[in-house]
């Protein structure tokens, strides 16, 4: 009896030891806003609390790390988080993607990756940044991250439990989320934790438990505790239970995802190229080549049949549009380097560094000023490249040699937007909502004007206009028309829900795509609406301006569709690039166009009627 009792006790101890070995807790620091002076003390208090719980093996940090994504805020956040005694695993939030002028690049400089993967006990923890690096309330799982997830899961036993952390933008929608869950369900996914917006709640997506945190209602740091035992995951705040997720064997055999081809394509597709990486900058069409760049800094050139011609690594993040003229390509990195590449061969010509972020898209124009260059040139090119920086400076450089033609300290706020060049004038705005007009020949300020003390302009909004008027919309959708010569109001249109605009080539219309199904034809002289089309693109935050080509207007959407509006003001869908935002649409030839989406798909197509 005694030996039998000892045996039973021994087995009991083994079982309980196994249970104990599988039981652990860790902290989830949500929406820390650590770069903010307002919340710094609260974040420090949370960090002290985490450090006092020495038995917790690690901390997960997700949500908005800062208020604006500025470099100094991110550095301060890094300083605070590095006070943690035990390891921490971090993904950025909306403010580090959308709001940041570096579009997430500074985060990568400080923390290397916008994702994480590590194992603890019998659980694999994954973290993904689902925010976009263009201004949109939608979330997005990037195509590169699918390859990464599959690689991480390739050698994972089907019995190993998986927990995924995500951040989530304002509208609670994450494009490609279903595809991600489908991949995870081929393994033993147990739960998805989302640092997002709305109330705390536990839901399910395709039978997978999803726990959401609160960021919008309570915009301040939160510290949650997650306790894992042999049977469940328990979420607590201040020792008060919020939710319990029982462990289950969730691995399933998933059928390969079928690709749905769009119906009734009216456009004639000439080339469809899959780049296999996320693209936020517009491709450059020059010298018979299609030149693209991924945000990791690799510039690639393709022939119009899709054949790769050359590649060039900038060794930085390319987050703003490139520009090309006279056989030269100019590319800026978020780290402050400007590269010149010979388009024909892909050979580098010049690289110069700036000690600050280049914060605008690049544009070029033929320089018509009196400045004489000192560096000898190999060509007769008069092209100049123009851009602005985060310190409020603007630069005009020779495109071939990068010799400075002129520069100006124009503002004490970052220069934003894609500059607009019109007949020796350059228009742009800064982070304080001030619009500038400078002389392209010498950089002299002609006028500056703040349309409204409360107006906020996104770095993704694009100026449009001509010699008479400059047009711009603020983040509230209000439209401002400004006298191009005098820098004064011509008119304003309040609550128009404007998202992107384009002045017509004949200057008789201002085409406005709203964010709520409407397309407006506005009289550019007085701001009166000439016609309203109720289209079916839905709630849409695409910043791609309408493309005007003769009697036709092309409209790109955030859902991947391209619409045509004809002379009779009828519209129809002519092409779909898949359920991914279109980031660029331009004319490249006679009735020939190039479109690119966020998922790295480039389509050349012909359309006429």
Residue 40 banded pLDDT, cuts 50, 70, 90: confident
The answer to whether the CB of 68 falls within 8 A of the CB of 104 is no
Residue 203: the pLDDT is 85
Residue 384 banded pLDDT, cuts 50, 70, 90: very high
b (16+ CB within 10 A) / e for 351-375? eeebeebbbbbbbbbebebeeeeee
Average pLDDT, the chain: 87
Higher per-residue confidence, 220 vs 334: 334
For residue 293, pLDDT beyond 70: yes
Q: Tell the burial category of 424 from Cβ atoms under 10 Å away from its Cβ (0-12, 13-18, 19+).
A: middle
Residue 52: the pLDDT is 93
H or E element, residue 589: strand 582-589
Query: Which has the minimum average pLDDT: 151-160, 197-206, 334-343, 376-385?
Result: 197-206
* Cα gap 482→487, rounded to integer Å: 6
- The tens digit of pLDDT for each residue in 500-519 reads 999 999 999 999 999 888 99
Degrees to nearest 5, angle at CA 501 with 169 and 67: 30
Residue 366: the pLDDT is 97
Q: What is the mean pLDDT of residues 519-542?
A: 91
Residue 16 banded pLDDT, cuts 50, 70, 90: very low
For residue 2, pLDDT beyond 70: no
User: Which domains are assigned to the chain?
Assistant: 19-246 (3.60.21.10), 314-450 (2.40.128.630)
Residue 586: the pLDDT is 94
Residue 97: the pLDDT is 77
* Cα gap 433→413, rounded to integer Å: 9
Radius of gyration of the chain (CA): 27
Which tokens hold the place of 33? 């806003």
For residue 171, pLDDT beyond 70: no
* Cα gap 137→539, rounded to integer Å: 11
Q: What is the mean pLDDT of residues 369-378?
A: 89
- How many CB atoms within 10 Å of residue 391? 16
- The tens digit of pLDDT for each residue in 174-223 reads 878 888 998 999 899 999 998 875 566 788 888 899 998 864 545 678 89
Higher per-residue confidence, 425 vs 159: 425
How distant, in Å, are the alpha carbons of 141, 230, 586 from that of 473? 29, 55, 21
Residue 383: the pLDDT is 96
Residue 579: the pLDDT is 78
Beta bridge partners of 482: 470, 489
What pTM did the predictor assign?
Answer: 0.86
Highest-confidence segment of 58-72, 413-427, 457-471: 413-427
The answer to whether the CB of 54 falls within 8 A of the CB of 48 is no
Query: Which has the minimum average pLDDT: 75-89, 182-196, 394-408, 415-429?
Result: 182-196
Higher per-residue confidence, 189 vs 130: 189
For residue 330, pLDDT beyond 90: yes
Residue 456: the pLDDT is 82
SS3 568: coil
Residue 509: the pLDDT is 95
The percentage of residues in the chain with a pLDDT greater than 90, rounded to a whole number, is 57
For residue 133, pLDDT beyond 80: no
């Amino acid at each position: 009896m005694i030996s039998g009792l000892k045996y039973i006790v021994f087995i009991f101890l083994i079982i309980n030891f196994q249970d104990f070995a599988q039981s652990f807790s860790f902290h989830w620091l949500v929406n820390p806003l650590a770069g903010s002076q307002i919340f710094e003390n609260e974040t420090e208090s949370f960090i002290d609390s985490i450090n006092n719980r020495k038995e917790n093996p690690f901390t997960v940090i997700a949500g908005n790390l800062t208020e604006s994504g500025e470099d100094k805020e991110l550095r301060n956040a890094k300083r605070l988080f590095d006070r943690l005694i035990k390891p921490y695993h971090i993904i950025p939030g909306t403010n580090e993607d959308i709001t940041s002028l570096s579009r997430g690049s500074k985060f990568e400089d400080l923390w290397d990756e916008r994702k994480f993967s590590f194992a603890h006990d019998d659980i694999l923890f994954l973290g993904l940044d689902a925010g976009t690096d263009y201004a949109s309330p939608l979330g997005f799982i990037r195509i590169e991250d699918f390859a990464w997830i599959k690689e991480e899961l390739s050698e994972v036993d089907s019995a190993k439990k998986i927990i995924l952390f995500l951040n989530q933008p304002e509208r609670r929608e994450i494009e490609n989320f279903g595809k991600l869950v489908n991949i995870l369900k081929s393994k033993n996914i147990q739960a998805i934790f989302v640092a997002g917006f709305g109330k705390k709640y536990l839901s399910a997506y395709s039978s997978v438990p999803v726990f959401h945190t609160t960021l919008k209602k309570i915009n301040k740091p939160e510290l949650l505790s997650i306790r894992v035992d042999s049977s469940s995951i328990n979420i607590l705040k201040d020792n008060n239970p919020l939710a319990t997720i029982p462990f289950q064997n969730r691995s399933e055999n998933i059928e390969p995802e079928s690709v749905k081809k769009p119906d009734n394509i009216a456009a004639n597709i000439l080339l469809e190229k899959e780049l296999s990486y996320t693209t936020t900058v517009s491709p450059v069409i020059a010298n018979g080549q299609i030149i693209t760049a991924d945000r990791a800094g690799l510039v690639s050139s393709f022939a119009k049949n899709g054949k790769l011609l050359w590649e060039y690594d900038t060794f930085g993040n390319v987050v703003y549009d490139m520009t090309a003229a006279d056989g030269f390509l100019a590319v800026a990195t978020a780290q402050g380097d400007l590269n010149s590449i010979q388009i024909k061969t892909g050979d580098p010509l010049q690289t110069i560094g700036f000690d600050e972020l280049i914060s605008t898209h690049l544009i070029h124009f033929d320089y018509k000023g009196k400045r004489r260059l000192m560096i000898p040139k190999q060509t007769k090119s008069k092209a100049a490249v123009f851009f602005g920086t985060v310190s409020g400076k603007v630069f005009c450089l020779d495109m071939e040699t990068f010799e400075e033609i002129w520069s100006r300290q124009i503002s004490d706020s970052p220069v934003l937007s894609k500059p607009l060049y019109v007949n020796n004038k350059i228009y742009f705005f800064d982070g304080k909502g001030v619009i500038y007009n400078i002389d392209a020949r010498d950089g002299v300020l002609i006028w500056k004007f703040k349309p409204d003390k409360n107006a906020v302009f996104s770095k993704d909004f694009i100026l449009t206009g001509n010699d008479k008027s400059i047009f711009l919309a603020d983040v509230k959708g209000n439209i401002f028309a400004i006298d191009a010569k005098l820098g004064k109001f011509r008119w304003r249109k309040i609550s128009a829900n404007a998202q992107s605009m384009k002045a017509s080539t004949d200057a008789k219309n201002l085409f406005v795509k709203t964010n709520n199904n409407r397309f407006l034809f506005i009289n550019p002289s007085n701001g009166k609406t000439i016609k309203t089309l109720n289209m079916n693109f839905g709630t849409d935050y695409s910043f791609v301006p309408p493309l005007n080509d003769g009697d036709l207007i092309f409209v790109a959407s955030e859902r991947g569709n391209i619409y045509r509006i004809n002379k009779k003001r009828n519209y129809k869908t002519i092409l779909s690039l898949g359920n991914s935002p279109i980031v660029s649409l331009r004319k490249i030839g006679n009735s020939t166009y190039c479109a690119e989406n966020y998922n790295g798909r480039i389509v050349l197509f012909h359309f006429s009627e």
